[in-house]
Amino acid sequence: LKGLYMSRVATDKGPDVLVDEEYLYQAIVAPEVEIREGYGSFMPAYDYLDDAHVEALIVLIKSLAE
């Protein structure tokens, strides 16, 4: 996850998707919506987490980009 935030990745929706907070939120709660190229659809949805817990995960991922 280091360096992932604000990078660009290829997904099944397009070749150049920005990994921002919106992308991370969706990837956590509904990962099947946009699948990163080279990865299968095997990540479980963490849709049972409340927004505060999802935001905490996003903050952690963002901190790894610094």
pLDDT tens across 24-41, in order?
A: 999 999 999 999 998 888
Q: Which residues contact 56 (CB under 8 A, 6 or more apart)?
A: none
Cα of 38 vs its chain's centroid, Å: 15
Residue at 14: amino acid letter: G
d(CA 51, CA 10): 26
- pLDDT for position 5: 96
Average model confidence (pLDDT) across the chain:
93
The list of the chain residues with pLDDT below 70 reads none
pTM beyond 0.85: the answer is yes
- pLDDT for position 65: 87
